[in-house]
Structure 1
Amino acid sequence: MCVSCGCFRSCLERWVMPISKSRKSPFNAGNERGGDRLLQIEAVYDKVPVGLCYINRHGVFVTINDQLSRMLGIASELALCQRIEDIVPDHAPLLRKGLEAALAGLAIPDQQIEHCEDTFMVSAAPVMNDLGEFAGISVAYTNITNMRKMAEKLWETEQRTAYALESAGQWIWDLNIATMRVWRSPQYRILLGLDPNGADSESVAWDIVHPDDKAHAIQAFEDAVSGRTSHFEAIYRVPRGAGGNAWILSRGKVVEYGPDGSPLRLLATSVDISAQKRVEEQLSTTVQLRLELEQKLLEANRKLKNQSERDHLTNLPNRRKFSHLLKREFVRAIENADTLAVLMVDIDHFKAYNDFYGHLAGDKCLVQVGRALNKVVKDSGGSVARFGGEEFAALLPSIATERAADIGGRMLEAISAMQLEHGASPSGKVSVSIGMAVLDEAHRVAVPGPDDLLNLADSALYESKRNGRGRLSVWGAFTR
């Protein structure tokens, strides 16, 4: 139970099982291997350079990574299981709109928000649980302050210089279209880490462009010169003096024409956008990493959910899973005016078996009995679960009483055919007692809910025990 609000386990069990920021989660404590897996994912989750959180459909924080805690100046352990209005009141309307859009099946648009002196891009995606139901949204906060400032500065610089002002981070170049010789201002050598007093600033056009990008740059030039585009624009790599490449954005236009209208000169500016490219690559990597982490989280949740619904000894569904199946099949039977049989099975004199042979032999006996029962019921389209201790329970959907009783008889015969020794039983062999109740047209009024059907099957089981064990009793019908 969460110390803050008591809702954390219900969040985990009812929706997608997210990574908890609390290492003391009762869920982790009860599933050591699953907990270790979640902690491994959590370790990666906290290393991504963006703020991540998961908000359930009720607007409650279920998980929040350390990066987002630092970005927003909140304590993650205090935010867990708290409403967004209580933790981030300024952002709550935006997050609520995202939840509403996802719930309605609509796309969630990215939004920019201001927080203190920073600007964040807020992206969200819906998360579904294993039943395909909407569980909440996964939200990413990406700090785009530097990127936004860089873009604004670039725009202002371009406006001021009008293709001519030499400023920090830029250079201008003048291309003679007839000779294809280009002059570059000295800034280009400084910005690329080259010797300012090196080679002449005039050289062959495109000689500094990376071979893989040269065709693209030349095509952009030819489009501008021919008039197919109004201006020249290209992004390409050029080598740095210290090694590696710089990403360059060049923009320009034809500024001089001959008497016959032929283009003579192209004037352009170039700017180093390597930092912007790194941000774009980091954003792309982050998005991909987030998708991979979410997929791993879903896979881990599926495995953990499967573990939580399986009996560790027999590998049959456990009582929790059986209760879920019973409720689902009961609703289906009521809605479709169909039948549903429930059988409760108890190994006769099992305590005496444990006392006589020991608990390890008792565990082996449970596995063998469970396997035999499951084979009979599975062949009939039903399901068997270990209900607890030496008790098993079976569901037989869409089967009439007489056929269900025949299947119950085959279950008795399957256990008898194993010929398992039971020195502490009057019969000398392992046997089972079965009680059965059927929801059909004649008994709908007497069976208002799934628990009532289960109780009637349990009563029939005790009838079998009172009549000598090793038999099937059917509620309201007959004894076999």
Structure 2
Amino acid sequence: MPSSKSRQSPFDTQNERGVDRLLQIEAVYDKVPVGLCYLNRDGVFVTVNDQLSRMLGITSDHAIGRSIDDIVPDHAALLRISLAAALEARIVPDHELERSGETFMLSAAPVTNDLGEVVGISVAYTNITNMKAMSERLAQIEQRTAYALESAGQWIWDMNIATNRVWRSPQYRALLGLDPASPDTENVAWDIVHADDKAHVIQAFEDVVSGRKQHFEAVYRVPRGGGGEAWILSRGKIVEYGPDGSPLRLLATSVDISSQKLIEEQLSSTVQLRLELEQKLLEANRKLKKLSESDHLTNLPNRRKFGRLLKREYERANDLEQPLALLMIDIDHFKAYNDLYGHMAGDRCLVQVGRVLNRIIREGTGVVARFGGEEFAALLPAATIDDATEVAKTILDSVANLQLDHEGTQAGKTSVSIGISVLDRINPATLGGPDELLNLADRALYEAKRAGRGRLSMWGSFAAD
């Protein structure tokens, strides 16, 4: 049967409450996963918690009463910067420290006596090594960012589960900009939590009270004294149980992670912007590639693109043992056409002929390119000699049907000459490679032009119309 004293609430009397709070603070001081110490205004260690002893590889007995220059010479200068800022009533900066392969965030806050004089600083060493790595889960991101920007403005709170009342340490008021002169009060649990966040905070509390989880952890918003809201991260555990095993007290710490939340939003915005820029870059690269492989006048593939297509189709035809036809097409007496009608008219002639060729060749699943000047080249995959001949005849007729005047020719109309080469299993002469197939078509074109133009030729041997 517990005594009446053991059943007393820590809220019964002011003295008992002060003693209890001191015990609470001392207990948390040693158990929080943050290295903590108190330095007087001369830079001498007054207190060192267990976590900091482990972090720095020192003992509290060895450090207490000694100067920071003796105990932590590698970063004593950083601590003195923080101490000087506190003594001069300036903002105390945070510092990042690399030590023994690990990264620590040094956060400090001034400590004052009853007269309001700064007598030293409270320093928190937070190991933020793991926060350097990105995490896929939001909870991990919140934890890392909380450690990264954690400050000495964190507060301790103690919840009496039976009465649903909470005591909060004075840092709570300083952090949220509340009146520090207001008397301490025991508040209703979750009374400061934003309405939209209250449900999941209570759920986290119920998870730890029921035993489903060992630790309480929640992120939520609370109002600031000067207006606006602060994002808060709270972590804690059950520290006292009744005789029947029921939880009596939840002890936790809270820290303002508003800066981290802002960083997350900025990071998310930056990632989105980067994705958009990458997409634009891909589009620009596609356009540049198309421009580099296209003829600017006819919009047909250029000679560079045709060379790649020829190599690909040649290898494919060999692998599948299929035929492949190549046509070289030249506009007859084109120099004379330019001399007679001007280069603008010559450009229009090239565009018109290119359109005719593209329409005919694409119908047969082939490809046509502007090879250079007034020359065009076409590939006809799986086309036999007969197939290529039929396509070439269609081209001759279609160009003639354009009825483009050309007084520099005997017929008075624009015409083309065509050379044909075909890769197939019965033509070993064409098996020397794609360049040889191209050369054969070029030689055939030469034969067609020498034979009078406006006609087609096969492998350098004149073929009648």
TM-score (norm 1): 0.64
How far has the Cα of 1:217 moved from its partner? 0.8
Check conservation: 2:422, 2:430, Cα contact below 8 A: no
C-alpha spacing 1:285/1:152, structure 2 compared with 1 (3 Å): closer
Structure 2 counterparts to residues 154-233 of structure 1, below 5 A: 168-198=152-182, 200-233=184-217
Quick one: which amino acid aligns to residue 384 of structure 1? Answer: V
Structure 2 counterparts to residues 17-416 of structure 1, below 5 A: 148=132, 168-198=152-182, 200-416=184-400
RMSD: 2.9
Give the match for residue 458 of structure 1. Answer: 442
C-alpha spacing 1:445/1:354, structure 2 compared with 1 (3 Å): closer
How far has the Cα of 1:477 moved from its partner? 5.7
Gaps of 5+ in 1: 1-113, 120-143, 159-166
C-alpha spacing 1:153/1:220, structure 2 compared with 1 (3 Å): closer
Give the match for residue 71 of structure 1. Answer: none
Give the match for residue 104 of structure 1. Answer: none
Per the alignment, in what secondary structure is the counterpart of residue 442 of structure 1?
coil
How far has the Cα of 1:280 moved from its partner? 3.5
Gaps of 5+ in 2: 1-97, 104-127, 134-141
Hey, what's the Cα distance between the residues in 2 that align with 1:288 and 1:174? 41
How far has the Cα of 1:309 moved from its partner? 0.9
Quick one: which amino acid aligns to residue 224 of structure 1? Answer: V
After superposition, give the CA deviation of every residue in 1:390-446 in whole Å (9 maximum; x if it has no partner): 111111110110121111011000011111111221110010011111111122344
Check conservation: 2:418, 2:444, Cα contact below 8 A: yes
Q: Kindly name which structure, 1 or 2, has the bigger radius of gyration based on alpha carbons.
A: 2
After superposition, give the CA deviation of every residue in 1:242-291 in whole Å (9 maximum; x if it has no partner): 33322211122222333443332222111122333334444444443333
C-alpha spacing 1:399/1:365, structure 2 compared with 1 (3 Å): same
C-alpha spacing 1:147/1:276, structure 2 compared with 1 (3 Å): farther
Hey, what's the Cα distance between the residues in 2 that align with 1:405 and 1:244? 81
Per the alignment, in what secondary structure is the counterpart of residue 193 of structure 2?
coil
Per the alignment, in what secondary structure is the counterpart of residue 196 of structure 2?
helix
Count, aligned residues: 333
Hey, what's the Cα distance between the residues in 1 that align with 2:159 and 2:284? 59
Quick one: which amino acid aligns to residue 437 of structure 1? Answer: S
Check conservation: 1:433, 1:471, Cα contact below 8 A: yes
Hey, what's the Cα distance between the residues in 1 that align with 2:395 and 2:231? 74
C-alpha spacing 1:304/1:395, structure 2 compared with 1 (3 Å): same
Give the match for residue 132 of structure 1. Answer: none
Hey, what's the Cα distance between the residues in 1 that align with 2:183 and 2:273? 45
Identity score, percent: 69
Give the number of the structure with larger relative contact order, counting CA–CA contacts within 8 Å between residues 6 or more apart.
1
Hey, what's the Cα distance between the residues in 1 that align with 2:102 and 2:239? 40
After superposition, give the CA deviation of every residue in 1:95-138 in whole Å (9 maximum; x if it has no partner): xxxxxxxxxxxxxxxxxxx9xx998xxxxxxxxxxxxxxxxxxx
Check conservation: 2:176, 2:224, Cα contact below 8 A: yes
Check conservation: 1:147, 1:279, Cα contact below 8 A: no
Check conservation: 1:317, 1:385, Cα contact below 8 A: yes
Quick one: which amino acid aligns to residue 261 of structure 2? Answer: K
